[in-house]
Structure 1
């Protein structure tokens, strides 16, 4: 009989980096992550995300978050995927870290994105989880480039990118919320500029994910 990992290998992915663990999103983890999002990610008068998904009315954000992840699971393919992982600290879900890619077997690039529950911010955890994700992508999943972006009024995200070695590219003028202009700084990371941490990163489940994103038979 097939297991969920057989049908959707990202669920079996595990990345251990010191006290942090990144795990593929099982339904139980999706529920925990959705409840955490409902508790708040940023002050109501701020919007760090290009798509303002956290602006949902109270009571709807958890449902919307779960629906988003279920939808991405159902459409996952090597040509268009979002690999999202729950981030856990001492077994407790504290946020999410992911990467989105299109035509990955050819482009070998993707854009990282992440968020932390408000009570876990400002403790260096955002840097640690992004660094662990980048190590997973470069060393185990065949990425040759990783991009990111952050609004100029989001210094915390830009600071994480700077610490890890992302280099600035282009600033784009975007509408963030209705009628609101915001400046979005593009960033790019390569294996040569990547600043690794001192903590060893242990990965399990990556081989099955490599095949799932179109790299079956390609060396790690």
Structure 2
């Protein structure tokens, strides 16, 4: 990985919370990511994702996940980007947290999404990893708004958002895969964000900030 970091600065970025390490998904992490996803993320037929990637045949999951990681990296520009962060707990890959933006220089707005394997859900990791990327967005990237969304039935995700100070921002009706869902939009600002009682440790920010044009 040393050679890659010389021209792809995000591989140097690491966010550390009391229990988790968040770092960009590199090629040698993809196997662990696929294994975590294959272990189960949600109940069958109850996908919380607008793109039902977890409901594909098992043999397609690995190639499709790899393509998604590669696509996000290949299409990453200062004007349009999605940063995919693997979540590590005690050396084990347990999920993924993304943060992204469009026209960030003008809008100062990021959006987030995430997943955790079922065996570690309910332990507060979802809140901790979301707090990490929101702290990074507000304090390091100088974002002014963080947005997210969840199906209206997804009480766990909306509960995490509520606990961090997100406010409701309208409901839309849209297609998720082959079905129609009502989706709750939410947003939080530095003023409404309920900060955790711990400090986020950030390493490797300088090169990432330079690439994004963040002073």
1:13 matched to 2:13? The reply is yes
1:23–1:87: 8 Å Cα contact kept in structure 2?
Answer: yes
- Give the distance between the partners of 2:16 and 2:75, measured in 1 at CA: 27
Q: Give the ranges of 4+ consecutive aligned residues of structure 1 lying more than 2 Å apart after TM superposition.
A: none
2:110–2:137: 8 Å Cα contact kept in structure 1?
Answer: no
Deviations 1:19-40 (A, max 9, x none): 2111122211222112211222
Question: Counterpart in 1 of 2:208?
Answer: 209
1:134 matched to 2:140? The reply is no
Where structure 1 has 5 or more consecutive residues not aligned to the other structure, the ranges are: none
- Give the distance between the partners of 2:166 and 2:38, measured in 1 at CA: 30
Q: Considering only aligned residues, what root-mean-square deviation do their CA atoms show, in Å?
A: 1.2
Deviations 1:140-180 (A, max 9, x none): 122111100000111110001001111101100111232x2
Matches within 5 A, 1:81-92: 81-92=81-92
SS at 1:59 equivalent:
helix
Question: Counterpart in 2 of 1:125?
Answer: 125
Matches within 5 A, 1:1-150: 3-150=3-150
Say how many residue pairs are matched: 214
1:182 matched to 2:184? The reply is no
| Bigger Cα displacement from structure 2, 143-152 vs 101-110 | 101-110
- Give the distance between the partners of 2:39 and 2:60, measured in 1 at CA: 12
Post-superposition offset of 1:42: 0.7
2:112–2:146: 8 Å Cα contact kept in structure 1?
Answer: yes
Matches within 5 A, 1:157-176: 157-176=157-176
TM-score where L is the length of structure 1: 0.93
- Give the distance between the partners of 2:189 and 2:85, measured in 1 at CA: 21
TM-score where L is the length of structure 2: 0.95
Post-superposition offset of 1:132: 1.0
Post-superposition offset of 1:6: 2.2
Deviations 1:57-91 (A, max 9, x none): 01211221111001111111011110110011111
Where structure 2 has 5 or more consecutive residues not aligned to the other structure, the ranges are: none
1:141–1:206: 8 Å Cα contact kept in structure 2?
Answer: no
Deviations 1:1-21 (A, max 9, x none): x82112211111111111211
SS at 1:7 equivalent:
coil
- Give the distance between the partners of 1:94 and 1:135, measured in 2 at CA: 21
2:167–2:188: 8 Å Cα contact kept in structure 1?
Answer: yes
